[in-house]
Structure 1
């Protein structure tokens, strides 16, 4: 497709190579989805295989499959040896369906065609200052997911896949009290609350979300937390359970524009006990030009949900308007941080 001349003194080939590679980035997402959908990582778990062997196992075309796997090997997903056999790498290993903390379902969600279509319309988001998702699909993201049972299942499994490691890290990073009550506001199926209750046997917890989410919660499956939780359904735009010691908003605020965030925060502020703390688990965007997953998600949120990621100053300003005060930010080993706040 692109004829790259020899490198000149002005570095034109390097510029061309880099920009062409970036411009074709959508192919990497498509190739990754193809490998995950074909469960290539599962086929390599027992040892290296050639593209021909993998094609027989996956009912695919050997020549085309090899080209996809060779491309993915340039990004460290797999490794091709001198004999033409492909090996798992640490990245590829995480795509196994039976891997600890498997990201198989998470990658299927992130590479779903609905997101690819939304990203392709990013210019529309920039020009019209609103999410292109709703204009493409005719309804807001969460309504679209709720109306499609298969998509809802993909979303639930994908989010659980992506969140599992984060939940464990958050539970181990923040110094949760030995006793008291934690409310996981908008907590979905309760993965984070389960991790926190495992970490602190003296705590009790409340999972709070819409009925569709809490009806499939994970808490009843874990004997280690039995008798220390309840699941309440409701709308955090209206109210949240009162009188708890810790309120957690994990990956909630980044889904919403500022006015909606203020409604959520004010409801938390009204429900908090006098010495309670509010924890916001979201990326905190660093300054400068260094890559950060939060900066990628920030663009995605604008196109999908009209949400955003925030800097420390932006979090502080938002909390102040809601009657709260930012007390500290705890970085984690993951891309997300813990923003702690108290009543102002």
Structure 2
């Protein structure tokens, strides 16, 4: 019998096995607001730990883990500076990712991730098994509004950072009206309006979302329509936009939403699906990791172009074009058939 040769695990595997350390350290740094404390001038570990009432040596070791991966600058004198990456951990930065980092390392998220085996075995969300609620949003509402607020802030800041690249990637000049279906506070529409002043921007969402959008609308450039896209949507608009929404739903529900779009759209109207496109021939570490998050939280998914084609075909659409953008999202332009 030939003896087996035992080899040490390759570096790549070791790095993957310890990614949980980096993710949690990043989340804690975001939660503590370290990037905001550092600001525009270098701060010593001693200064930061004193301000936050933390153990100085432990804080140094946490920041050291992040610095070797390009998050923060840390010199030999234990002085911490922000860099082009940690800049986006600051709360007021345009496109800030602070709340997304807080969410991804939060205890409730880790609790759900501890039930990944359930999702892999069943193809279903792990939220009910982990949190005791079939719907994750019920947990936020009944048990932890604080977590729900961080989740909402994370989704908003994450989504808003894509608005300018999305608008830059598509020519809206021939549109007189654009409706954003499930558009939250209407930030995408405001960017469209800035670039195309002639367009009538219409925000369509559930009543509570519309009420919040109106309360926060200082520009007063949007028109508001309350409704549920599972029931009906405004008819005869030049351009219908669904931005980063379909990935929240399973195929059956996506088809229901798209069929309502088909009922409303005119023969010369356009439907723009702004979403992640999974490309099997590319690594896409972020996108394919996020696909697992969608499975865990909602039993949903990120999709390939072919999967979008199949959904659209069942709803009475075909893909006219696909536009890449300088963001993780692509724009799928569909027309009625």
Please report the TM-score for the alignment, with normalisation by the length of structure 2. 0.92
Alpha-carbon contact 1:178-1:200 (below 8 Å) kept: no
* Structure 2 match to 1:297: 290
* Structure 1 match to 2:202: 206
Alpha-carbon contact 1:247-1:277 (below 8 Å) kept: yes
Compute the displacement of 1:52 (Å).
Answer: 1.4
The superposition leaves residues 154-204 of structure 1 with CA deviations (integer Å, 9 ceiling, x where unpaired) of 233222211222011112211113542111111112111121122211111
Alpha-carbon contact 1:283-1:335 (below 8 Å) kept: yes
Query: Hey, what's the Cα distance between the residues in 2 that align with 1:156 and 1:196?
Result: 23
Do structure 1's residue 263 and structure 2's residue 256 form an aligned pair?
A: yes
Query: Hey, what's the Cα distance between the residues in 2 that align with 1:146 and 1:267?
Result: 29
Query: Hey, what's the Cα distance between the residues in 2 that align with 1:313 and 1:251?
Result: 17
* Structure 2 match to 1:191: 187
Between 257-266 and 300-309, report the one with greater CA deviation: 300-309
Number of matched residues? 331
Compute the displacement of 1:313 (Å).
Answer: 1.2
Compute the displacement of 1:105 (Å).
Answer: 2.1
Compute the displacement of 1:289 (Å).
Answer: 4.8
Compute the displacement of 1:152 (Å).
Answer: 3.4
Compute the displacement of 1:62 (Å).
Answer: 0.2
Alpha-carbon contact 2:27-2:103 (below 8 Å) kept: no
Compute the displacement of 1:134 (Å).
Answer: 2.3
Compute the displacement of 1:144 (Å).
Answer: 3.1
Query: Hey, what's the Cα distance between the residues in 2 that align with 1:139 and 1:90?
Result: 40
Stretches of structure 2 that go unaligned for 5 or more consecutive residues are none
Compute the displacement of 1:145 (Å).
Answer: 3.3
Alpha-carbon contact 2:278-2:284 (below 8 Å) kept: no
Query: Hey, what's the Cα distance between the residues in 2 that align with 1:18 and 1:266?
Result: 45
Do structure 1's residue 343 and structure 2's residue 336 form an aligned pair?
A: yes
Alpha-carbon contact 1:134-1:140 (below 8 Å) kept: yes
Do structure 1's residue 144 and structure 2's residue 131 form an aligned pair?
A: no
Do structure 1's residue 88 and structure 2's residue 82 form an aligned pair?
A: yes
Of 204, 211, 216, 2:212 maps to 216
Of 108, 111, 114, 2:105 maps to 111
Do structure 1's residue 322 and structure 2's residue 322 form an aligned pair?
A: no
Compute the displacement of 1:281 (Å).
Answer: 0.6
Against the structure 1 CA distance between its residues 52 and 98, is the aligned structure 2 distance closer, same or farther, given a 3 Å change threshold? Answer: same
Query: Hey, what's the Cα distance between the residues in 2 that align with 1:242 and 1:80?
Result: 56
* Structure 2 match to 1:25: 19
Which has the bigger relative contact order, CA under 8 A and spacing at least 6? 2
Deviation above 6 Å: which 4+ runs of structure 1?
none
- Counterparts of 1:1-344 in structure 2 under 5 Å? 12-13=7-8, 15-137=9-131, 138-147=133-142, 148-217=144-213, 221-223=217-219, 226=220, 228-344=221-337
Query: Hey, what's the Cα distance between the residues in 1 that align with 2:7 and 2:70?
Result: 26
The superposition leaves residues 244-278 of structure 1 with CA deviations (integer Å, 9 ceiling, x where unpaired) of 11111111111111100000000011011221100
The superposition leaves residues 303-336 of structure 1 with CA deviations (integer Å, 9 ceiling, x where unpaired) of 1111111111111111111110111100001111
Query: Hey, what's the Cα distance between the residues in 1 that align with 2:118 and 2:234?
Result: 39
